[in-house]
Amino acid sequence: MGRRVSKDPEVRKQEIVAAAFDLFREKGYDQVSVNDIVKKVGLAQGTFYYHFKSKYELLDAVVEYEMRQTLAILESIATDEKLSPLEKMHAIINLNPSDDRRRFIRLVRSEENAVLYLKSQKKMADELVPYMVTLVEAGDKEGVFNVPYPREAIGLLLNMQLDFERILANTPDRDNAYRLIRAMEDIYIKVLGIKPGSIRLIP
């Protein structure tokens, strides 16, 4: 009889988080039970409760996991030497989520999880700032951007982007949504000091 492999507790914890991430995206938070999660990982429920007090506590770790995945994609864009500074900026602000990720975003944007969502997005924005500042400074040297205070400008832009996404998500009227998108484009253009039409936001 084969011996059961004992894994590091942190490895087990991350397996639970990854399984929950997949299940929450696929079925929705309310439709997934603790039993569903441990069954997917192949663990006993006791192991789950060793790491998390509840499914809701797990959600915080899942949001962090999702944030890290997104941040890794954004970092890869910011450090891609094949793209120009303007192309990188355009790709980063228009990162297009998959249908599964859109469902997950709607989950954590829900009213009951709003604080959790805003906390995760604020943390991601803060961690992205150094990459964006480097990008803007490179664009300044090439004459593509004209940003006198890169770090301060990027910090303000990213926080404004969070508010923009929240407001846009709660604006059902298409005409108003269109105006919001065009206004945010105008803000990017003015802050970055680039030509009109250089930035187009994809809703």
Per-residue pLDDT tens for 117-160?
666 667 767 778 888 899 999 999 999 999 999 999 998 998 88
Domain count, the chain: 1
Amino acid code (one letter) for 78: A
The runs of H, that is alpha helices, within 43-173 are 45-51, 55-78, 85-93, 99-109, 114-141, 150-169
Specify if 6 maps to a domain: no
From CA 181, how far away is CA 185, in angstroms rounded? 6
> Would you say residue 125 lies in a domain?
yes
In a domain, 177, yes or no: yes
Residues 24, 62 contacting (CB under 8 angstroms): yes
- Domain span at 146: 82-192
Give domain status of residue 163, yes or no: yes
pTM, entire model: 0.68
For 71-127, the pLDDT digits (tens) are 788 888 888 989 999 999 999 888 765 555 555 666 666 655 566 666 666 776 777
> Which residues are CB-contacts of 96 (< 8 A; sequence separation ≥ 6)?
202
Amino acid identity, residue 56?
Y
Residue 13 lies in a domain: no
Alpha-carbon distances, residue 7 vs 13, 47, 189 (angstroms): 10, 12, 51
Question: How would residue 168 be classed by pLDDT, with cut points 50, 70 and 90?
Answer: confident
How much is the pLDDT for 125? 72
Determine contact, residues 104/24, Cβ cutoff 8 Å. Answer: yes
Residue 65 lies in a domain: no
Q: Does residue 91 lie within any of the structural domains?
A: yes
> 160 in a domain, yes or no?
yes
